[in-house]
């Protein structure tokens, strides 16, 4: 029988939508690639070759213009000393608007999530935590699986949920197992809406109520909603006892939470910087669409 991890809690900070769309392949370029139109066209062709983008020729000039703007944005931004870097990835010739519609769209009302749904009267589990480390990298502690790709499906909520469950399970059992986002997309349909969005609160509830979630291998990701597989075909291997929201607008509370376990976070993923984000602490410059809560936490 597969070992079942009974886990104390997967805390969550409800903020915005997280898109785990960071692609592994990216092109490096330098000043010389931006020096002339010819050089930029050559860079565009190199990029098109790498990402096998099929576009009709009528569209190509317009695409090139978008590409050029993006390349300049990335180049200029990386000259600065922000705590994160951008890279030319496969979204190189998409406008921010196209990117948002394709990858960061969600029709579930996010404002509900922004406010949080913390249960009245329940104490915050880590309220009394002292002597917090200045930083913690859960990847180094073996609590984070490799980057996953949500594809063109508004399933950010499922990825955010699963990453937190993988994390707390790894901490409690020392067994890092990749778990199934697809199961949440297909089966957690009471309050969540598959590729049309959802909330982590409901997904945590689903996992706790249904005795856990299946392994990624047993129930792999398809980036579209399908029929819910029976538990015989995809048995639960990891479960949680519960979850709680990190108190909103409280940097110290978030620090206490992340010192103890990975936290499910959703961020506004529709800006150009998130489109090209590659590494570092994302502090997002396109702050217009970010919630107050995120800003206060994100710039801590």
Ligand X SMILES: *[C@@H]1O[C@H](CO)[C@@H](O)[C@H](O)[C@H]1NC(C)=O
Q: Is 239 in the site for ligand X (CB under 6 A)?
A: no
With respect to ligand X, which residue has the nearer C-beta, 142 or 226?
Answer: 142
| Residue 93 and residue 53 in contact, taking contact as beta carbons nearer than 8 Å | yes
Which helix (H) or strand (E) covers residue 240, if one does? strand 236-240
Q: Using CB under 6 A, pick the residue from 177, 182, 272, 275 that binds ligand X.
A: 177
Size of the site for ligand X (CB under 6 A): 6
Q: Answer left, alpha or beta for residue 142, where phi above 0 means left and psi between -120 and 50 means alpha.
A: left
Q: Is 6 in the site for ligand X (CB under 6 A)?
A: no
Q: Is 237 in the site for ligand X (CB under 6 A)?
A: yes
With respect to ligand X, which residue has the nearer C-beta, 15 or 170?
Answer: 170
Q: Is 2 in the site for ligand X (CB under 6 A)?
A: yes
With respect to ligand X, which residue has the nearer C-beta, 170 or 199?
Answer: 170
Q: Of 115, 142, 238, 146, which Cα lies nearest the Cα of 184?
A: 238
Q: Is 240 in the site for ligand X (CB under 6 A)?
A: no
- Smallest gap from Cβ 206 to ligand X, in A, equals 19
**Burial annotation 252-286 (CB, 10 A radius, 16+ → b, else e):** ebbbbbbebbbbbbbbbbbbbbbbbbbeeebebee
160: its two tokens: 């955010």
Site for ligand X in 208-227 (CB under 6 A): 215
Q: Of 131, 115, 123, 152, which Cα lies nearest the Cα of 20?
A: 152
Q: Is 246 in the site for ligand X (CB under 6 A)?
A: no
Q: Is 170 in the site for ligand X (CB under 6 A)?
A: no
CA distance 209 to 259: 27
Q: Is 3 in the site for ligand X (CB under 6 A)?
A: yes
Indicate the SS3 state at residue 161: helix
With respect to ligand X, which residue has the nearer C-beta, 118 or 210?
Answer: 210
Positions touching ligand X (CB under 6 A) are: 2-3, 175, 177, 215, 237
């Amino acid at each position: 029988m597969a070992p079942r991890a009974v886990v104390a809690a997967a805390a969550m900070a409800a903020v915005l939508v997280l898109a785990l769309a960071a692609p592994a392949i990216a092109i490096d370029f330098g000043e010389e690639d931006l020096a002339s139109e010819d050089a930029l066209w050559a860079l565009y062709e190199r990029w098109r070759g790498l990402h096998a983008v099929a576009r009709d020729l009528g569209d190509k000039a317009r695409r090139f213009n978008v590409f050029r703007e993006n390349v300049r944005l990335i180049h200029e931004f990386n000259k600065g000393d922000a705590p994160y870097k951008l890279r030319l990835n496969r979204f190189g010739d998409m406008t921010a608007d196209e990117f948002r519609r394709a990858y960061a769209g969600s029709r579930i009302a996010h404002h509900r999530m922004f406010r949080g749904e913390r249960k009245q009267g329940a104490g915050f589990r880590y309220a009394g935590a002292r002597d917090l480390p200045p930083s913690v990298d859960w990847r180094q502690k073996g609590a984070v699986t490799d980057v996953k790709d949500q594809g063109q499906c508004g399933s950010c909520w499922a990825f955010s949920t699963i990453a937190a469950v993988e994390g707390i399970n790894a901490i409690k059992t020392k067994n890092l197992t990749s778990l199934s986002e697809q199961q949440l997309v297909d089966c957690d349909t009471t309050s969540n809406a598959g590729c049309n969005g959802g909330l982590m609160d409901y997904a945590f509830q689903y996992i706790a109520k249904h005795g856990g979630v299946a392994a990624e291998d047993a129930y792999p990701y398809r980036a579209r909603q399908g029929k819910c597989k029976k538990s015989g075909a995809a048995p639960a291997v990891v479960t949680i006892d519960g979850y709680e929201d990190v108190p909103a607008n409280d940097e110290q509370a978030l620090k206490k939470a992340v010192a103890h376990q990975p936290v499910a976070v959703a961020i506004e993923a529709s800006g150009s910087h998130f489109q090209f984000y590659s590494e570092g602490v994302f502090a997002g410059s396109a702050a217009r669409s970010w919630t107050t809560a995120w800003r206060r936490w994100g710039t801590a």
